[in-house]
Amino acid sequence: MKAIVVGGGLAGITAAIALAEAGHGVTLLEARPRLGGATCSFNRDGLVVDTGQHVFLGCCDAYRGLLARLGMTEHAPVQDRFDVTVLAPGRKPARLRRTALPGPLHMLPALARYPFLSWAERARVSRPAMAMRFLDPAAPATDTQRFGDWLAAHGQDERTRRALWDLFAVSALNIAGDDASLSLAATVVKTGLLGASSAADIGVAGLPLGELHGDAGANLLTKLGAQVTIGAKVAAIEPDDGFRVTLNSGEQLTADAVVLAVPHDKAAPLMPPGALPADTVGAWAGLGASPIVNVHVIYDRRVMDLPFAAAIDSPVQWVFDRTQISGLTASSKAGPGHQYLAISLSAADSYADVPAAELREQFVPALAELFPAARDAQVAEFFVTRERRATFRQAPGTAALRPPARTQLPGLVLAGAWTDTGWPDTMEGAVRSGLTAAIELRRSLPTSATTIGERQ
């Protein structure tokens, strides 16, 4: 079988690797000048900057499997146990660290000591945690509810939702915690926080994402005999004794199968007539988009002694030390002792169009409130990166809009974290979708593939 994979993000890379490993001829087409999709890197005045600050959890089996295929496991270490420092202005840091107890008991001691909630609020946290164990994320009725409403009905007041539940929901779902789909929130909580004791242990890349995913993916695909073409934007996909794929340049390629692994707004105009039931493609617009904004601050000295931290009662959500991974110490602009911090702002609708100068006026003082050493430090550089369509908007009602991998045209499948993976729009969801797409090709073209499922 000859397959064309359209889109070089995690979903496309995963599908291409699975197909190539199964012995099929694969061509991967990516419109941008690099692979990686939403998880890539670029150079800025000697710095290597990731498009976003992505982390993963111990329960992300598919993503960790991709890292293993790429030979990158050692470059994306996972904590020996869940451990997060939570900061708040004018308060001593708190530490949420799991115990060795089996889940879901492993988090209870840390929650019992969490100083940013009152004793009464801490006592009530167990109510939704216990109720969540009996909630079915896949039930259609679950996706009709807002996470905030469900938490409130289970004794979680405004303070508890902001100081505890938002720490996990906002970053995982890229939407205000109260507004998130209960179905997707339940997937995060049940799998990560209430599952196996190691499920929520955090993994952070030790290399720029461009190396971890894009470069490693291109290298592996080349070794497997696949062709990787960047700067190749697809203009049309048409059935034609298989499929004919037309590029913006006018060049045409033919294949037995196509994996369409691009965001929903890019996939919609490429869908051939009859590929899906009427009005299905038009309904994808209802998935919307939610932005992520990253604020980058370089200080003339070290101000943070943690690899990353979360914050409450502050515009800062999560902050990461990017000094070593960015190559700052080797850059010509860096002075001795400089530190590069990156603030990741999920559900960033209110920041997406704010000028960098205004964001500087807000976030430099906010960092100084969290890190006393920053009060006397000088800001050597400040810049902002924006992902205006980082994820689909993971609100109630979106489950019915997410399509399966399979289409009504044998040989044409969909991939992407926005498809019906059962997971939120995350790296794990993207990789799962790529694997599912490869398996669906085996099902729709049974005589052309025999080993894809066996290799997953």
* C-alpha dist (Å) from residue 440 to 26, 29, 151, 264, 316: 16, 20, 37, 19, 42
Q: Measure the CA–CA gap between 111 and 168, rounded to whole angstroms.
A: 14
Strands (E), 75-142: 83-87, 94-97
CA dihedral 50, 53, 58, 59 (to 10 degrees): -100
Q: What is the pLDDT of residue 228?
A: 98
Position 333 scores a pLDDT of 60
Which residues face 20 on adjacent strands?
A: none
- Output the CA–CA distances (angstroms, integers) from residue 374 to 45, 358, 379, 408, in the order listed: 23, 19, 9, 57
* Alpha helical stretches, state H, 351-426: 356-370
Phi and psi angles of residue 55, each rounded to the nearest 5 degrees, phi first: -125, 170
What does the pLDDT read at residue 455? 40
Residue 76's φ and ψ, nearest 5 degrees, are -140, 65
Q: Which long-range contacts (CB under 8 A, 24 or more apart) does 22-26 make?
A: 22/438, 22/449, 22/450, 22/451, 22/452, 22/455, 23/451, 24/448, 24/449, 25/1, 25/225, 25/226, 26/221, 26/224, 26/225, 26/226, 26/227
399 close to 140: Cβ distance less than 8 angstroms = yes
Instruction: Find the angle CA(268)-CA(274)-CA(278) to the nearest 5 degrees.
Output: 70
Report the pLDDT value the prediction gives residue 17, as an integer from 0 to 100.
98
CA 174/CA 359 separation, integer angstroms: 19
Q: Model-level pTM?
A: 0.94
pLDDT at site 449: 42
Q: Which residues of the chain have pLDDT under 50?
A: 332, 448-456
**Phi/psi at 177 (5° precision):** -55, -40
Nearest CA to 318 among 362, 252, 272, 363?
Answer: 363
179 touches 146 (CB < 8 A): yes
Alpha-helix residue ranges (DSSP H) falling in 38-193: 61-70, 108-112, 119-124, 126-132, 147-153, 158-160, 166-173, 182-188
The span from the CA of 353 to the CA of 29, in Å, is: 31
- The number of beta carbons lying within 10 Å of the beta carbon of residue 240 is 11
pLDDT of the residue at 303 = 97
Full set of structural domains in the chain with CATH: 2-39+209-287+395-455 (3.50.50.60), 102-192 (1.10.405), 290-391 (3.90.660.10)
Task: Provide the pLDDT for residue 447.
Answer: 57
Burial of 44 (0-12, 13-18, 19+ CB in 10 A): middle
